Amino acid sequence: MKKLILLIYWGLITSNLNAAIIHIPADYLQIQQGINNANNGDTILVQPGVYAEQINFSGKNIVVASFFLLTNDTADIASTIIAPSNLSGLDKSVITFENNETSDAQLIGFTIENGEGNYRMLGFAPICYGGGIYCYDAAPILKFLKIRNNNSECGGGIFLYESDALIENCTISNNICNSVAIDAPNAGGGIVMWNCDTPVIRNCIMQYNFVATAGGAIYSFNSAADIVNCLITNNHSVVLGSAYYMDSQSHVRIINNTVSGNVCDDGPGLALKSVMYCIDSVNVTIRNSIFYGNNPPAIVCQFNYGINNITVANTNFEGGQDSIYTNNGGSNLLLNWQGGNINTDPQFMNAAAHNFHLQPGSPCINAGDTTGVTNIPSTDLDANPRYNGTIDMGCYEFQGPVSIFETITSSNPVLLIYPNPATEIVRVHTSNNNPQTLIIFDPLGKIVLQKEIAGETMLDVSGLAGGVYLIRVGEIGQRVIVLK
């Protein structure tokens, strides 16, 4: 690990020979002090700890990162927290970009909490936008962040205005838009995109966000966005769109998303209750995704605001095309229901325990299609290879054999391991019922466990460090990923 850290450190220095590395708190006690003294191209490395402050990039194209940048250890994300207290005045977002920062401005590896949004006169009205992150006319890269427990009147987690930000490998959870102010839209519990050209949300988890009005996870207004490889679950909207709200000529592509467990309460009549609500000539494409287990499962289009175009392909959509309609039976919906769609139980590992990986035999395995679909990552939400055969539906690619029913009837010996990745218990099934020796090798080839099995057994892997292991039974071997 020391060699790895030194190599990365050298890369930070040599990528720009004039750049500096500023250490927090060794060089400056506060992150903002480091930013104030930084120049374009500099890197600010922040030691684990709780930083009770707000930060503003102030137009500087710099990297602000926790030690995760060096270690790739998610423990550094959890232990490096930016959480202001006793907020007052007009600026109450935790992080602010509002001076034309480019993609060279990067925020990497933090937990962001306790924001209440910047008070600005834009969008809906003069209200508070972006509890966790406020991004106005800037295009930063936001990676490996936990954005949680923030609130605002628009964009509980993140607010993007005329921004082409990249949001990648972030978990956005438990953010709230629930103001009693008269002008408060209470929209976009996770993310709001407003007048944005090409923002990308990739490999993100959006869960347990709450809005009093619209878009439990995502609200898009006049924006063209890609939402790829995302898990959107257990979000809650009181009125419109438990997961998504699409508004005002938005063009949004939803690719390989898993959308489940989101709840929308009864709206004020006119059948507004929905997992996605569309209004005013939006264009939404859904491919290779799973929409299942939401209450209700419907996509609803507003009847009196333009023609809404919805394309669905190779997606497991609960209720089928009958669950996509206008709220008064009107004709302002153009539904392009393409091939490969299904309406059946996706067979999640354990949705009640928030495990949305696919079981062996799931109808979503190898049921996707990449034809004509651009910008699909080569890995899934777990960073596992995306193409294990044909691409699967949803954000998790099944890593085992195609089907337990197919494999156990094969004449060749078969080894089936699930769930994979695993955190505590992994089940090992072999088609050979005779006693055999099971061996687990760590990434260096060292034996960490050896036992006799016959047929099927359960292994406790909770004591293993995170990483990729090889499980071998007889002459058959298969990888298993242990997550921590």
C-alpha 76/C-alpha 70 separation (Å) is 10
More confident residue, 344 or 427: 344
Cα distances from 121 to residues 183, 218, 453, in angstroms, run: 12, 21, 67
pLDDT value at position 460? 83
> How does residue 449 score in pLDDT terms, banded at 50, 70 and 90?
confident
pLDDT value at position 9? 44
Q: Which domain holds residue 110?
A: 2-358
Amino acid at 478: Q
Question: CA triplet 323, 329, 330: central angle to 5 degrees?
Answer: 120
Spell out where 137-198 has E strands: 141-143, 146-148, 158-161, 166-168, 171-173, 176-177, 191-194
C-alpha 212/C-alpha 199 separation (Å) is 25
On whether both 344 and 428 belong to a single domain, the answer is no
C-alpha 465/C-alpha 482 separation (Å) is 7
Query: 259 and 284 in contact (C-beta within 8 Å)?
Result: no
pLDDT value at position 78? 97
On whether both 277 and 349 belong to a single domain, the answer is yes
C-alpha 250/C-alpha 247 separation (Å) is 6
| End residue of a domain, out of 327, 343, 358 | 358
On whether both 463 and 345 belong to a single domain, the answer is no
CATH of the domain at 423: 2.60.40.10
On whether both 38 and 118 belong to a single domain, the answer is yes
* DSSP reduced 3-state for 407: helix
Non-local (6+) Cβ contacts of 26 within 8 A are 47
Bridge partners (DSSP) of residue 112 are 82, 147
Here the tokens at position 309 are: 């175009």
| Residue 216, in any domain of the structure | yes
pLDDT value at position 403? 31
| End residue of a domain, out of 358, 393, 426 | 358
Amino acid at 85: S
What is the dihedral sign for C-alpha 286, 288, 292, 294? negative
pLDDT value at position 14? 43
Mean pLDDT value across residues 335-341: 97
On whether both 72 and 185 belong to a single domain, the answer is yes
pLDDT value at position 275? 97
pLDDT value at position 276? 98
186 has pLDDT over 90: yes
pLDDT value at position 184? 83
| Residue 388, in any domain of the structure | no
Here the tokens at position 185 are: 């839209």
Cα distances from 405 to residues 182, 335, 346, 351, 471, in angstroms, run: 57, 36, 16, 22, 21
Query: 154 and 123 in contact (C-beta within 8 Å)?
Result: yes
Q: What is the pLDDT of residues 143-152, one digit of tens each?
A: 999 999 999 9
C-alpha 440/C-alpha 277 separation (Å) is 48
Cα distances from 55 to residues 51, 122, 383, in angstroms, run: 10, 21, 30
| Residue 385, in any domain of the structure | no
Identify which of 127, 176, 167 has the alpha carbon closest to the alpha carbon of residue 149.
Answer: 176
pLDDT value at position 456? 78
pLDDT value at position 124? 66
pLDDT value at position 374? 85
Identify which of 375, 430, 434, 377 has the alpha carbon closest to the alpha carbon of residue 408.
Answer: 430
432 has pLDDT over 80: no
On whether both 13 and 78 belong to a single domain, the answer is yes
The whole-chain average pLDDT of the chain stands at 87
More confident residue, 170 or 477: 170
Identify which of 405, 398, 449 has the alpha carbon closest to the alpha carbon of residue 429.
Answer: 405
7 has pLDDT over 60: no
pLDDT value at position 10? 40
Residue recorded with tokens 């050979």: 432
User: pTM for the full model?
Assistant: 0.81
| Residue 394, in any domain of the structure | no
pLDDT value at position 303? 75
399 has pLDDT over 90: no
C-alpha 448/C-alpha 443 separation (Å) is 10
On whether both 293 and 426 belong to a single domain, the answer is no
| Residue 339, in any domain of the structure | yes
What is the dihedral sign for C-alpha 239, 240, 241, 244? negative
| Residue 68, in any domain of the structure | yes
Q: What is the DSSP letter of 241?
A: -
pLDDT value at position 404? 29
On whether both 127 and 270 belong to a single domain, the answer is yes
C-alpha 274/C-alpha 319 separation (Å) is 13
| Residue 393, in any domain of the structure | no
| Residue 170, in any domain of the structure | yes
* Total structural domains within the chain: 2
What is the dihedral sign for C-alpha 123, 60, 90, 108? positive
Identify which of 123, 72, 80, 116 has the alpha carbon closest to the alpha carbon of residue 95.
Answer: 116
Here the tokens at position 343 are: 């309406």
C-alpha 251/C-alpha 300 separation (Å) is 16
> To the nearest whole percent, how much of the chain has pLDDT over 90?
67
On whether both 352 and 435 belong to a single domain, the answer is no
On whether both 106 and 22 belong to a single domain, the answer is yes
On whether both 350 and 417 belong to a single domain, the answer is no
More confident residue, 62 or 480: 62
> How does residue 479 score in pLDDT terms, banded at 50, 70 and 90?
low
CATH of the domain at 327: 2.160.20
Q: What is the pLDDT of residues 27-60, one digit of tens each?
A: 999 999 999 999 999 999 999 999 999 999 999 9
Q: What is the pLDDT of residues 72-104, one digit of tens each?
A: 999 999 999 999 999 999 999 999 999 999 999
Non-local (6+) Cβ contacts of 219 within 8 A are 154, 155, 187, 188, 191, 192, 193, 241, 244, 245, 247
Mean pLDDT value across residues 429-455: 77
On whether both 333 and 252 belong to a single domain, the answer is yes
Highest mean pLDDT among 193-202, 421-430, 451-460: 193-202
> How does residue 267 score in pLDDT terms, banded at 50, 70 and 90?
low
Identify which of 415, 475, 467, 419 has the alpha carbon closest to the alpha carbon of residue 445.
Answer: 467
